[in-house]
Amino acid sequence: MHKLRIETKKRQLESFAKTKFKEYAMNKWQFKFSDEYPKSSCGHCVPEWKIIFMEISTIAKYKLPTLKDIVLHEFAHAIAGKKAMHGKEFRKVCKQIGCKGNRANNNYECYELRGKFSWQE
């Protein structure tokens, strides 16, 4: 994909995340791009650092609506709390914030679905 398109998507995702942090009163939370897990991850949430990450490699793979849904999936982790994992509470939050999270897991790989929660390391 053209580099310019990637940069445009990055800016749009940053702005989307910023709006959502405000909407959910997630003070001091940050959205960042990562290249730590290019093969195994789309995004991940680190509550201890108040950071939601998206893998750079993910951006070229999906269109903006899917990328936004991946971001929302990570927001759901942040809001539901780490103990919720991908359980009932997590899915409830997904529904509330308009994330297809529970279904989306079938469409894209979730970092945690590899059995490795960032907050359990």
Verify binding: residue 112, Zn ion, rule CB under 5 A.
Answer: yes
Verify binding: residue 109, Zn ion, rule CB under 5 A.
Answer: no
- Kindly state the smallest distance separating residue 4's Cβ from Zn ion, in Å: 30
CA neighbor of 107 nearest in space, from 61, 47, 39: 61
CA neighbor of 17 nearest in space, from 43, 49, 37, 36: 43
Residue nearest Zn ion, Cβ-based: 110
Which of these segments, 18-26, 35-43, 54-62, 110-118, binds Zn ion (CB under 5 A)? 110-118
Contact 111, 41 (CB under 8 A): yes
Verify binding: residue 69, Zn ion, rule CB under 5 A.
Answer: no
CA angle, residues 4, 70, 64, in degrees to nearest 5: 35
Give the nearer residue to Zn ion in terms of CB position, either 46 or 110: 110
Interface positions with Zn ion (CB under 5 A): 110, 112
